[in-house]
Amino acid sequence: MNVHAWFERAAARFPDQPALEVDATTLTYAELRELVERLAARLHAAGAPRRVGLLASRSVLAYAGYLAVLRSGAAVVPLNPAHPPERIRELVAEAGVELLLAEESCTGGEWEVPVLRAGADEPFGRAREVPADPGDIAYVICTSGSTGTPKAVPISHGNLDAYLTEVAAWYGIGPGSRVSGNFELTFDGSVHDIFVTLGQGGTLVVPREAALLSPVRAVNALRLTHWFSVPSLISFADRLGTLRPGAMPSLRCSIFGGEAVPLEALRSWKRAAPNSDVEVLYGPTELTVACTAYRLPDEEAEWPGTPNGIAPIGECFPSLDFRLLDPGGRPAERGELCVRGPQRFAGYLDAADDAGRFAPGGWYRTGDLVTVEDGLLLHLGRTDQQVKVRGHRIELGEIEAALRALPGVSDAIVLAAPTDGEPELAAAVGGDCEPDALHAGLRDRLPPYMLPRRITVLDRLPLNANGKLDRRALRTELDL
């Protein structure tokens, strides 16, 4: 089944209800469906490509385009127009994009594939029916790769349908619900927002990116009933002093995911949104948005305590299996979380990226260290160098590779520096170069969330007794 059918069913039931709100523009389900049909017809006329890059952000065309690509029978590859052109070209090649569907406002760049410019006033057309098998790819998300190039994660219609079957009805969304569309389309939290909302008759309300720096104001100005974001936005609100008790009375449900969530941050949010359920979702892109969930009790006095102050990630979805493995691959009470089931992807587009990611028996190795306490999964950290910044998964090795490719750099190390909120990235390089030039070089290659806050040039990088780069010594030298 083409997962676009989730939207189609809601559009048939609620044609006159508002479906999408972006700035001053609101489309009903019937109006959004018509725009989707017109865009899908244009995609068919352009040769019915198998994978379509969607170069759009926080606009009516971004969401209509996403649905239109699926309606046309193609797989959607979200691309962020704010990222450097070189990065976009790299993702286009990595994901096998055959055509770009771009907003009229997206200019510049030589993409090496045909470009279809889209506007809100599309010519009339209706797309032909294109069935999809469960194994056909619905979307491709490109994540950071430890080898220096992104990894393309294909998620099938069957994977996404399994996820929606688990969660869609859980949040009480329907006509009258106003659901935040906080995530960029390149982040798979947006998949949850689009299909859980537009599959149930709710209104997807997309704030401007700048509005997310003041979450409480955004909730109230947009009259939101449902909120989903990375937990770092709680820190933004806290720094502004806006998380006052009862500050967000309209919220009925608040979800946080994408990175570890401190219990203390959730307490602050719950007090500001006393009428809201508070839930943590966990899951890597490879397991289709989320694979575990934990809804905190209504009464704060009943909230669990955890050794590290991080909220539990809860229980695995009923349709999935999990186990914990020690470094030797043996079952353990405390170990790497491994998951299998209908939401698990089949493997990366580049099969070489599969190495080390699967355990015998079809288990996907998440790289997350987990234990079980009182029946709940507790997140303890990572088993590798992957970090999360504003919910984005970052392999430090990819940034190091980008630094090594710059003139004058002989070697590089990137570290995640702990802070009161999300980690900050710091880099040290050896060679004959200037930090300002390195910052400029990285801005041309990497998206903003992957850029180190500071780059230090050293005469030589510290080595351990085995002649390997000594990260611990470097932390001391950089006072991290």
- pLDDT for 283 equals 96
- pLDDT for 107 equals 65
For range 166-190, the mean pLDDT? 96
For range 130-149, the mean pLDDT? 86
- pLDDT for 347 equals 97
Per-residue pLDDT of 432-453, as tens digits, reads 889 999 999 999 889 888 899 9
- pLDDT for 134 equals 96
- pLDDT for 72 equals 95
Least confident of 61-75, 141-155, 160-174, 193-207: 141-155
On the question of pLDDT at 129 being above 90, the answer is no
- pLDDT for 402 equals 86
Burial class (CB in 10 A: 0-12, 13-18, 19+), 338: buried
Amino acid identity, residue 189?
G
On the question of pLDDT at 238 being above 80, the answer is yes
- Closest listed residue to residue 59, CA positions, set 225, 178, 181: 181
- pLDDT for 109 equals 65
Per-residue pLDDT of 389-421, as tens digits, reads 777 878 787 888 788 889 988 778 888 887 666
| Domain positions in the chain | 4-302, 386-478
- pLDDT for 147 equals 62
* CATH of range 4-302; options 1.10.10.10, 3.50.50.60, 3.40.50.12780, 3.40.50.300: 3.40.50.12780
Per-residue pLDDT of 333-377, as tens digits, reads 889 999 999 999 999 999 999 999 999 999 999 999 999 999 999
Question: What is the residue-averaged pLDDT of the chain?
Answer: 91
Per-residue pLDDT of 60-103, as tens digits, reads 999 999 999 999 999 999 999 999 999 999 999 999 999 999 98
Question: At the fourth CATH level, which superfamily is domain 386-478?
Answer: ANL, C-terminal domain (3.30.300.30)
